[in-house]
Amino acid sequence: MPQHDHAAAGAYFGSAAALMLACVYVTLALRAARRKRWPAARTPAFVAGAALLALGLAPQLLPFGASDFRNHMLQHLLIGMVAPLGLVLGAPVTLLYRSFGKRGARLLARLLGSGYMRVVSQPAAALVLGTGGMALLYATPLYAASLESPWLHGAVHVHFLLAGYLFAWSIAGPDPAPRRPSVPHRLVVLGVAIFAHAAVAQLLYAGLLAVPAPPHELRGGAELMYYGGDLAELALALALVRGWRPGRRPAAAQRSSVPRAAASR
């Protein structure tokens, strides 16, 4: 099978998996709503995130050619920044807590409280995973290599998705997180992320990174990263501020409420 056929098959599989994920979520949300009230806004947020993820994984549906760097940047924005916010706002972990039995809920709570999750769920760690991966991709021959290998290209997309989800969850996710820092702390980390994306976009625009693309594609991709990234991060900031209630009970109690409830079901 030619290389482009492998890439197309992978794109279709990824898009189908994203849509299947949305179907599973909707099924679980309907069941949860029958037993207990489920916030109405969460389901459309998750479905929208899954739909945007499916779109980002299907480059043939985007306005530029499959080999155009601007297409890649649109995929980066959709997979790594926009779709994760919708998925996170759907609170899928809380939905799983409500859907599992006692044993499954305890296992999920144990996973969430593991040492690994305590590290990667911190905003600073999620920032390093996201911006570090972005810098590694564009400042080294990795991007050029990903154009030649469908498997490496897919791995880059998986990294963007997971890093973007972790960052959105650590900043504004309604799901419980171990040792989540204060809102001002998270706003500072978000500000650093905005600065980092702007810096990479400017370097791309100037043609100073290791991206083998024509100048007009580089400039177009850099503009998409600069302005599109700002909009995605503004939406993340709004989600964070919207859910901030300074007068609520202490954060430590909030963090443990879902795991404790799940373990006692």
The Cα 15–Cα 57 span in angstroms is: 6
List, for residues 46-57, the tens digit of each pLDDT value: 999 999 999 999
Q: Give the whole-angstrom CA distance, residue 55 versus residue 53.
A: 5
Q: What is the pLDDT of residues 152-173, one digit of tens each?
A: 999 999 999 999 999 999 999 9
- Give the start-to-end residue ranges of the domains of the chain: 3-263
| pLDDT value of position 231 | 95
Whether residue 213 has pLDDT greater than 70: yes
Question: In the structure encoding, which two tokens stand for residue 42, read together?
Answer: 């969460």
pLDDT of residue 144: 94
Q: How confident is the model at residue 10 (pLDDT cuts 50, 70, 90)?
A: low
Contacts of 10 (CB under 8 A, 6+ apart): 150, 153, 154
How large is the average pLDDT for residues 18-34?
94
- Do residues 218 and 73 lie in contact, with contact meaning Cβ atoms separated by under 8 Å? no
Q: How many CA atoms lie within 13 A of 103 on its CB side?
A: 0
Tens-place pLDDT, residues 58-100: 988 889 987 899 999 999 999 999 999 999 999 999 999 888 8
Report the share of the chain in percent with pLDDT over 70. Answer: 88
Residue count (the chain): 265
pLDDT of residue 36: 78
Q: To the nearest whole number, what is the mean pLDDT of the chain?
A: 87
User: Given a cut of 90, is residue 112 above it in pLDDT?
Assistant: no
